[in-house]
Copies of this chain bind each other. A is one copy, B any other.
């Protein structure tokens, strides 16, 4: 960041911030470009870091031109997005968005270290964490570039896409309880097999999501009891993860799937007991920012596809605080959270180009003082 001409600081939440502005024309307004510095254990190189480095590279490129901008640019490396250590995601962006929950400071990690102590040891300042919040009145926009972490761009043959929303999510745990019994001695018509009931519901979930545009639904966890080859499964526990950009559609889907589960359970004399583990509403990106990103993607010579993000990002938090836009970069085979995570250099160049066009369009839109035609 310093080599790219930025002044650097760390805020109270451990976020790394590099600020660039025209030294002759200091600006009150700021464009924040960011993503996160942390990663999951045994993850890849690009999840988070790609967006931070794209911001740094963008400033480096812009600082070599004569263009004038009516805002400063701050590149932010958020301190903690994945939520691995304290089972709490978005610590950095929540602090910056003024939405940090101070009760988290007392939460301990596996070693019994509180978040407050960990933050202090890192150089942050838990007691003044509120100071990390930025004033939304002075933020022109938040922009985040991130690898897609999914296979759609590769499947479409496109390097980039604007993100219009980050899907909301419901996680359910479902317990199905039937009757056990000997696999050899219990005739088919006297069975109350919890696994065949679960299988029927798993297929209903798949069918339902396939027929619902923009929905993804996954049963990822299945625990069979007793899980022995010659005993009819008496109990199955499974977990459903259902996501959609429209919160009402998501709620209706969950209710309908539970209704179907209860119905098949009644027919099979197997109880169907759903329990909500987690609900997160969708986060919409700013419409104007998304339109500008689409135009910027087209400026870079790429067909401007718009995607819904099924995964969470700092942009979901920042979108509640200031006008936010998000750019996806194609990743190989949709693989993320794995050492095989991979992006093409040419795609990164296109992302940088689109981001540069975005900054130019934002400047044109924002200020009369802008002169962004210079080189």
Please report A residues at the B interface, Cβ cutoff 8 Å: 148-152, 155, 167, 169, 171, 181-190, 193, 195-196, 198-200, 202-203, 206, 209-210, 215-224, 227-233, 239-241, 243, 309-312, 334, 336-337
CB distance from A220 to the nearest CB of B (A): 5
A148, closest chain B residue (CB) = B185
Q: Write 21 A-B pairs (CB below 8 A) sorted by A numbering.
A: A150-B185, A151-B181, A152-B190, A183-B220, A183-B243, A184-B309, A185-B336, A188-B209, A188-B216, A195-B222, A196-B219, A198-B199, A199-B203, A199-B206, A203-B203, A218-B230, A220-B227, A220-B232, A221-B228, A221-B229, A229-B240
Residue of B nearest to A204 (CB): B199
Name the residue among A167, A184, A202 with the largest chain B CB count within 10 angstroms: A184
Majority SS at the chain A contact face: mixed
Docked CA distance A198–B206 (Å): 12
**Identity of the chain B residue whose Cβ is nearest the Cβ of A166 in the assembled complex:** B184
A185 touches B309 (CB 8 A): yes
| Cα(A241)–Cα(B193), bound, Å | 14
Chain B neighbourhood of A243, CB < 8 A: 183-184
Q: B239 near A229 (CB under 8 angstroms)?
A: yes
Determine whether the beta carbon of B224 is less than 8 Å from that of A221.
yes
Question: Within the oligomer, what is the number of copies of this chain?
Answer: 2
Report if A227-B222 is in contact (Cβ < 8 Å); known contacts: A199-B199, A334-B185.
yes
Q: Which residue of B lies closest to A152 (CB)?
A: B187
A265 to chain B, nearest CB (A): 15
**Bound: A7/B231 CA distance, A:** 40
B152 contacts A182, C-beta separation under 8 Å: no
A326 CB, nearest partner CB in chain B, Å: 13
The 9 A-B pairs at the shortest CB distance, nearest first, are namely: A150-B185, A184-B310, A183-B218, A199-B199, A199-B202, A185-B310, A229-B239, A184-B311, A183-B241
Question: Considering only CB atoms, which chain B residue lies closest to A183 in the complex?
Answer: B218
Please name all residues of chain B whose beta carbon is closer than 8 Å to the beta carbon of A217 when the two chains form the complex: 188
- Bound complex: CA of A227 vs CA of B221, how far in Å? 5
Check A185–B224 contact: CB distance below 8 A: no
Q: Within the assembled complex, what's the spacing in Å between the Cα atoms of A101 and B216?
A: 56
Given contacts A151-B187, A182-B337, A218-B230, 10 further A-B contacts (CB under 8 A): A150-B186, A169-B184, A184-B309, A185-B310, A185-B336, A186-B216, A195-B219, A221-B228, A222-B224, A222-B227
